[in-house]
Structure 1
């Protein structure tokens, strides 16, 4: 699979949120607006710039677009792809593109991402009608609770969930979950409520906000926080995803996203810490440096790799006990990695001592 075309279940924490006081529920305004928008196109009408902009201006769509960093040119091409897929006068163009897509979906990636909604409209609408039921929400909570300690297994009635009709991704933050319908549908074929459970984990884990972090520590603190945040949540849905990749459509499998280079990233981080320490805190890696290092995966890489090793070697209970502590995540990884038969890379004693110093500095009221 071509890496630059891979759209994944990235769970990127949104820095904005929807102002709402409604009880925890699914909100279908955005997905219903999509179904409404495409109806005139099926009869030959074009998708005007104004209509498309009105659709994109819906708050869940806006949050998603900003989170993903979609530029105007991308959105313009998305509008054209929607016209190609749904307007009957473009049937010959679509036929040519579908033939190419069947060989390689990446050949017309935007068209492919729209076409799956057309091709699967009935099944997606049926799936949508079943979302929001109490049974579905309960199942999602069961998935979330599987990676939380008892004291955090508390249902949050203020979580608001917004399915979208574009793209195939999911984000969560500030009590809001936004997930594309295509992503939810395919994830549920493998494990019902797992993707939503993953998303809600980000909310219920209640990640701690480390304030007044020194400039020299900002990059490393970013890394420590995101690998715990995504690695722990990944244990809810990624193992079943990887075990059932054969039933997932193109763009939704994760092996190429989660696994390659995860071990080498850990080695680089270890070297960064040693270099920082030995330079007297003069050789500093910034947050951007660490974002580049983890390949802008928001912590999935190498978070999944590290959490998987922790669980495989019998330290799940210890991880749950320290689910909010990013420093303990590193210590647990090192302890598990020393037992692991695959001999994954370790953080050197020198690095661990430096992280312990950071823990005492930024975890003063919780440090034992």
Structure 2
């Protein structure tokens, strides 16, 4: 099975309460699988499922969530018919020849046939596994202790869908077929998402609005810091070096851009020098400087901090991308051979941004009432007492 993209779509249209009302937090959910197996059983017999069977499938909470985010019930039904019904064979072959997203999904879902027993056994194993507990323990290692259990983790649902992995504020949805080939990776992925969930609870109240010119800068630096730290959970073990998925296309792209992180940092430095010296420069360009949404560059910087200064030092500065860059800068200034430092102009420019958006404003001190003027006979008394 090919991983098309590991971190796919965050569905911003989800109702934040829809999932939580039906499935408890800190749970692993398979409510969409029983109705799926029923529909599949009818289709492979070349029988159209009853309306009640379709309704049971799409009434399952995870499918409700997907549909709230734009998932098409009608299209999904048709794709399942093409993939499973023998009478649709000729039309299926035509679709497969097109080599487009639809044909990719059809190839993906057709792997179910002949693997039903294996998938159901996997489902049983995942239901027994302590996925949430394992994921939380891994995420905890990169989070300040005081933030970890402030709120329970949104539910994790396993279904069959047209995305390998999806995530939203209301939960994580994982394709069971994806888990068939990548079972060992599942708790690490959940831990990665758990890190994001708890990290997002650390609010910064003074950030710029979406329409403000400095928003892309703050957003991209935050993305680089957050993903760089979260990637410490899963990338090294699975996608780098000789990890089990290191040969996949997505992993090779990650490795390529990770190797080019020093060049990316130099380009980033040039960008900030330009922003500092030519204030009217287009801040949106930063989005083109950091490949893969900042994942590889952020990983490179976070890994440097951990290796040279320790994980605890990194954790103490959680949720401040400017502090993240300062920590990297301390490493780079001591080891310029391996880590390119930022220029002093860049660091001054970033310091001003941090003071503007991240550092709390000092509360105004109430004016002290002036003391009455001391009389001549009181002065000596004051001096003597002092």
State the TM-score, normalized to the length of structure 2: 0.73
* 1:37 aligns with one of 36, 39, 50: 39
How many angstroms does 1:235 deviate by?
Answer: 0.7
Cα distance change on mapping 1:134 and 1:240 into 2, 3 Å: closer
Aligned-partner Cα distance in 2 for 1:356–1:84: 57
Q: Any conservation in 2 of the 1:78–1:110 contact (CA below 8 Å)?
A: no
Aligned-partner Cα distance in 2 for 1:173–1:13: 5
The answer for the alignment partner of 2:194 in structure 1 is: 200
Q: Any conservation in 1 of the 2:31–2:61 contact (CA below 8 Å)?
A: no
Aligned-partner Cα distance in 2 for 1:244–1:39: 42
Cα distance change on mapping 1:210 and 1:52 into 2, 3 Å: farther
Q: Any conservation in 2 of the 1:313–1:336 contact (CA below 8 Å)?
A: yes
How many angstroms does 1:165 deviate by?
Answer: 1.0
The answer for the alignment partner of 2:377 in structure 1 is: none
Cα distance change on mapping 1:310 and 1:182 into 2, 3 Å: farther
Aligned length: 351
Q: Does 1:131 align with 2:126?
A: yes
Q: Any conservation in 2 of the 1:230–1:304 contact (CA below 8 Å)?
A: yes
How many angstroms does 1:268 deviate by?
Answer: 3.4
The answer for the alignment partner of 1:358 in structure 2 is: 353
Aligned-partner Cα distance in 2 for 1:312–1:359: 25
* 1:316 aligns with one of 305, 311, 317: 311
- Comparing 160-169 with 245-254, greater Cα deviation is found at 245-254
Q: Any conservation in 2 of the 1:173–1:203 contact (CA below 8 Å)?
A: no
- Comparing 43-52 with 200-209, greater Cα deviation is found at 43-52
The answer for the alignment partner of 2:383 in structure 1 is: none
Q: Any conservation in 2 of the 1:169–1:183 contact (CA below 8 Å)?
A: yes
In the TM superposition, 1:174-213 aligns within 5 A as 174=169, 176-189=171-184, 191=185, 193-205=187-199, 206-213=201-208
Aligned-partner Cα distance in 2 for 1:253–1:211: 36
The two structures, once aligned, show a CA RMSD in angstroms of 4.1
Aligned-partner Cα distance in 1 for 2:328–2:129: 37
DSSP 3-state at the match of 2:197: helix
DSSP 3-state at the match of 1:365: coil
* 1:145 aligns with one of 140, 144, 151: 140
Structure 2 unaligned spans of 5+? 363-386
- Comparing 254-263 with 87-96, greater Cα deviation is found at 87-96
Q: Any conservation in 2 of the 1:216–1:285 contact (CA below 8 Å)?
A: yes
In the TM superposition, 1:17-56 aligns within 5 A as 17-19=16-18, 20-21=20-21, 22-45=24-47
Q: Any conservation in 2 of the 1:258–1:302 contact (CA below 8 Å)?
A: no
In the TM superposition, 1:335-346 aligns within 5 A as 335-338=330-333, 343-346=338-341
In the TM superposition, 1:1-368 aligns within 5 A as 7-10=4-7, 13-15=10-12, 16=14, 17-19=16-18, 20-21=20-21, 22-45=24-47, 60-61=62-63, 63-64=65-66, 81-90=79-88, 108-118=103-113, 120-133=115-128, 135-154=130-149, 156-157=151-152, 159-174=154-169, 176-189=171-184, 191=185, 193-205=187-199, 206-213=201-208, 215-243=212-240, 247-248=244-245, 254-257=251-254, 259-260=256-257, 263=261, 264-280=263-279, 282-286=280-284, 289-294=285-290, 297-338=292-333, 343-365=338-360
DSSP 3-state at the match of 2:213: helix
Cα distance change on mapping 1:285 and 1:34 into 2, 3 Å: farther
Cα distance change on mapping 1:89 and 1:212 into 2, 3 Å: same
DSSP 3-state at the match of 2:158: strand
Cα distance change on mapping 1:341 and 1:184 into 2, 3 Å: farther
DSSP 3-state at the match of 2:239: helix
Q: Any conservation in 2 of the 1:11–1:171 contact (CA below 8 Å)?
A: yes
Aligned-partner Cα distance in 2 for 1:12–1:210: 26
Aligned-partner Cα distance in 2 for 1:224–1:351: 13
Cα distance change on mapping 1:84 and 1:192 into 2, 3 Å: closer
Q: Any conservation in 2 of the 1:137–1:193 contact (CA below 8 Å)?
A: yes
DSSP 3-state at the match of 2:319: coil
Between the two structures, name the one with larger relative contact order (CA 8 Å, sep ≥ 6): 1
Cα distance change on mapping 1:323 and 1:269 into 2, 3 Å: same
How many angstroms does 1:162 deviate by?
Answer: 1.9
